[in-house]
A = this chain, B = another copy of it.
Amino acid sequence: MNAHPVITVLAGNRPLVGMEELQREAEVRVTDDAGLPEALAGADILYLWDYFADGVRRAWPAADSLRWIHVPAAGVDKLMFPELVSSEVVLTNARGVFDRPMAEHVLGSMFHFAKNFGLASAQQRQRQWRHYATGDLAGASVLVAGTGSIGRCTARLLAAVGLRVDGTGRTARGGDADFGTIHASADFAAVAGAYDYVVLAAPLTPDTRGMLSREVLTAMKPTAVLINVGRGALADEAALEDALRGGALAGAALDVFETEPLPESSGLWELENVLVTPHLSGDSQNQLPALARQFADNLAAFKAGRPLANVVDKQLGFVVS
């Protein structure tokens, strides 16, 4: 129970939403990255509105009474530093809010390649009317790496339009409600070659880092398309660029990168078989109010001493269903 907790809000470039309501429920300190250590001292809760921020570990020594960190994002890999993992501080995320936009981003990206819209646009800029080949998604096969809420929402949407959807997860299993077969992540390289599309929707953990290895890329069909909405470091980005340049992979829709913003010097920008988007696959109109509401609901639980929703397993690095 804590009737009027102190919340430190790390603001970012996004407009702050829901702050008036919060101020009725708590003492709210809005800060930026530089002011974080000072604002953390004495705070009960850290609300990482700017979830791209890197400064939490740096400010950690100042967190003398912190009990809860909420990240209005899906991935929490930046917070998996030892001091936080080993602490008693509870970490929650915005599980669910990004599922549908990301699933739509994945499906839209698949259409971009199946329907060859990149070539259509290139020809349009040249005022060129020339026939080219297109394909259907119906009946195509897709492997979704990640069976969390994002992977599941994606699987359901893709199945709804007629794709055959399998997954990879921590343990192999059949009889799943959303996936055909779930392969063990350890078998990713062994099974990836059977699919027309491969989607990375896994959290970044020590187990998943580099999972799209040179070996997996070599195993994939040369006609296959990769979609990464998880984290850039799930892939060996240099090997991925080689595969895309060398024809080992037909195309890729990349929303996340090893370094973000993607450096101007990256060779990925210039590849015509790549669709680069600036880490926004989870975005949607009217999403900020949903994120604010989710935090407000959890804050009510915190104040009442009830269990919080969407608690991250800090050993695993994600919320366990």
A137 within 8 A of B: yes
Bound-complex Cα distance A188 to B123 (A): 33
A246 within 8 A of B: no
Q: For A110, give the chain B residue with the smallest CB separation.
A: B108
Are A137 and B269 in touch, CB under 8 angstroms?
Answer: no
Are A127 and B160 in touch, CB under 8 angstroms?
Answer: no
Chain B proximity of A222: nearest CB distance (Å)? 15
In the complex, identify which listed stretch (A128-136, A207-215, A230-238) lies at the interface while the others stay far away.
A128-136
Chain B proximity of A241: nearest CB distance (Å)? 14
A121 within 8 A of B: yes
What 0/1 pattern do residues 65 to 109 of A give for CB contact below 8 A with B? Answer: 000000000000000000000000000000000001100110111
A243 within 8 A of B: no
Are B108 and A275 in touch, CB under 8 angstroms?
Answer: no
A132 neighbours in B (Cβ, 8 Å): 278, 280
Are A134 and B283 in touch, CB under 8 angstroms?
Answer: yes
A111 neighbours in B (Cβ, 8 Å): 104, 107-108, 111-112
A138 neighbours in B (Cβ, 8 Å): 100, 104
A262 within 8 A of B: yes
A315 neighbours in B (Cβ, 8 Å): none
Are A136 and B269 in touch, CB under 8 angstroms?
Answer: no
A104 neighbours in B (Cβ, 8 Å): 111, 114-115, 136-138, 161
Size bracket of the A interface = 35 or more
Are A136 and B264 in touch, CB under 8 angstroms?
Answer: no
A23 within 8 A of B: no
Are B161 and A124 in touch, CB under 8 angstroms?
Answer: no
Chain B proximity of A34: nearest CB distance (Å)? 22
What 0/1 pattern do residues 229 to 259 of A give for CB contact below 8 A with B? Answer: 0000000000000000000000000000000
Chain B proximity of A59: nearest CB distance (Å)? 25
A131 CB contact (under 8 Å) in B131, B135, B161, B280 = B280
Of A120, A262, A266, most B-chain CB atoms within 10 Å: A120
A191 neighbours in B (Cβ, 8 Å): none
Q: For A136, give the chain B residue with the smallest CB separation.
A: B284
A2 within 8 A of B: no
Q: A101-B136, A104-B111 are in contact. Are A123 and B278 (CB under 8 A)?
A: yes
Chain B proximity of A36: nearest CB distance (Å)? 22
Are B108 and A114 in touch, CB under 8 angstroms?
Answer: yes
A15 within 8 A of B: no
Chain B proximity of A252: nearest CB distance (Å)? 12
A118 neighbours in B (Cβ, 8 Å): 121
Q: Sample 14 A-B pairs with CB under 8 A, ordered by A number.
A: A100-B138, A104-B136, A108-B108, A108-B112, A115-B277, A117-B117, A118-B121, A120-B275, A121-B275, A124-B269, A127-B269, A134-B280, A135-B284, A136-B284
* A-B contact sample (9 more), CB < 8 A, given A124-B274, A132-B280: A104-B161, A108-B115, A120-B276, A121-B121, A125-B269, A127-B264, A133-B283, A134-B283, A161-B161
8 tightest Cβ-Cβ pairs between the two chains A and B: A108-B111, A129-B261, A124-B276, A160-B160, A127-B269, A108-B115, A129-B278, A127-B264
